[in-house]
Amino acid sequence: MMRSMYSAVSGLKTHQTRMDVIGNNIANVNTVGFKSSNVIFQDILYQTTSGASGANAATGVGGVNAKQIGLGVNMAATNINITGAGAAETTGLPFDIRLTDASTTHFFIVNNGSENLFTRSGSFYVDGAGNLAMTSTGYTVMGWQVDPVTGQIRKDTVSPLQIMKTENLTSPPEPTTLGRCGGIIDKNDPDVLNADGMMKNFNFYDKLGYAYTARFSIKKVPGVDGQFTVELKDILDSNGNSILPENMTPAQRASLFGNEQADAMLGQYTAVREGFYKDPATGTVYKGDSAQGTALTFNGTGFTDGTDTYTLKEVFGVDDQYISMLTATPPTATATYDPANGTLELRGQVVNYGLTFSTADGTFTGINGMDSVSLNLAESGLFPEGNFENISIDFSTMRNADNGGKTTASMTAGDAKEAGKGKKLGALIGLSVDNNGKIFGTYDNGNDVLLGQIAVAQFSNASGLEKAGENCYTTTLNSGEFDGIGVEIQADGSKMTSGELEMSNVDLSTEFTYMITTQRGFQANSRVITTSDTLLEELVNLKR
């Protein structure tokens, strides 16, 4: 009689425990990353009043089963639905991260200052020390650091991700090393035809990230189709002040930006008699040693005899009657006429480049026979502080064509893929996390720099983890150990999604169903007790 009461009592206790678990599930229906639990029941000891017997062939008596009376129920286990994913909640915050598992359940690794814990709650923020941490507890998020030599992730023992440390607040500057000049150059453009040429600006950076502007002049070679010149006029700092030395010699200018074949080109003019005479009375210039030579006229660029054009360089000779001149190619070399031996000596170097195009279709044919030329900022010797790199400027995409008298040529730092463009010192303006957990810093100079990677942990038996509260788990003997290194989440096709959180996987319809069956089970067990009590009451009443 008393066994039924004690069995019913165990039933009441077990159903109460199950109700406690259901209540906890429902209480955490909106807890980020919460995993629901379910109670598993099992029967307990049995009292055997008669053992089982086998069949007896001799007597023809069959076997008899054992007679057992159960003594109640207890809680066998709480089963955690660890692999069931909760719904996604979009937050838009960069450090709200949801784990999406492909085949294995993964966990973020966090540290409370003394040990590593594991969580599915991806609500993180950057704390005052620059560490990525849990929003709820402040536990630091663990991951892998960037190798300072290679700039790649070094997958060794996990450590706190201090993404806002001092060295991450800025991105180093880069000097400009490449440039290009492209577009259309129109021989009928008035700016290309005038004496100063068309001015083009080329913006670049030095090694410290300071900005400069190189000013170039593009001019048409008079009387020669398809030929132009490119000349460096000045280099200005960010305040508009020239950084070139005053009174630069032609040789210095050529060492910075000039014809690398200048010496050879000038040499072919050595000992060539090319005298000119200026009549002091009339000012008329003659080709030759006197007024008996061919009279020249000025055409706005130089003196011409109708076939060749000559550019005045400097005056030599008695009473300024001998004038050194040179044909327009190269137009900026320095020439002197020596009356003692009747020769025209050329000195200095050409300080521009000849830009040529096909006269048939206007395609680029070369800038001094090459596709690109160098602005020799590092090798010229004009900037001893050594903050510049040489810049190779590619002209091969230019074309000479009729564009209604409008030249569209422009100069840009960097090649077609933006390599060698150069950058100023960058300030950190944003942070982001990709699907593999890699954290990138975005800087105002255009750089995206890898700052670290969030590692994850996986276990042989994730259900064997023990809930430690605060949305965290600890390892147990039945879960498997954490190796201290972690894994990359995309190793099995899983991923992280930034701007989302994993919600609780509690299913209210299931919990309410469990609640109903638990309530009815509790009621039934209480009825067993009251019925047993009634039977005991009848037994007591026999004495009356």
| pTM of model > 0.85 | no
State the pLDDT at residue 274.
Answer: 52
Question: Higher-confidence residue: 358 or 270?
Answer: 358
Give 265's pLDDT tier (boundaries 50, 70, 90): very low
pLDDT digits (tens, 9 = 90+) for 503-542: 999 999 999 999 999 999 999 999 999 998 888 888 888 8
Give start-end residues of each CATH 2.60.98.20 domain in the chain. 173-258+351-424
State the pLDDT at residue 464.
Answer: 92
State the pLDDT at residue 276.
Answer: 66
pLDDT exceeds cutoff 60 at 178: yes
Residue 434 is given by DSSP the state -
pLDDT exceeds cutoff 80 at 415: yes
Give the span between the Cα atoms of 536 and 524, in whole angstroms.
18
Give 51's pLDDT tier (boundaries 50, 70, 90): confident
State the pLDDT at residue 455.
Answer: 96
Percent of the chain residues past pLDDT 70, beyond the cut = 86
| CA neighbor of 64 nearest in space, from 53, 75, 78 | 53
pLDDT digits (tens, 9 = 90+) for 235-261: 999 999 999 988 777 778 878 887 643
Region 320-344 average pLDDT = 43
Percent of the chain residues past pLDDT 90, beyond the cut = 62
Please say whether the structural domain 173-258+351-424 has been given the CATH code 2.60.98.20.
yes
Give the span between the Cα atoms of 86 and 29, in whole angstroms.
10
State the pLDDT at residue 186.
Answer: 95
pLDDT digits (tens, 9 = 90+) for 418-434: 899 999 999 999 999 99
Tokens standing for residue 155: 């997958």
What is the helix (H) or strand (E) element at residue 250, kind and residue range? helix 250-256
Region 180-184 average pLDDT = 96
Asked if 276 and 337 touch (Cβ cutoff 8 Å), the reply is: yes
Region 456-480 average pLDDT = 94
pLDDT exceeds cutoff 90 at 181: yes
State the pLDDT at residue 289.
Answer: 63
CB-CB neighbours of 11 under 10 Å? 21
Give the span between the Cα atoms of 35 and 25, in whole angstroms.
8
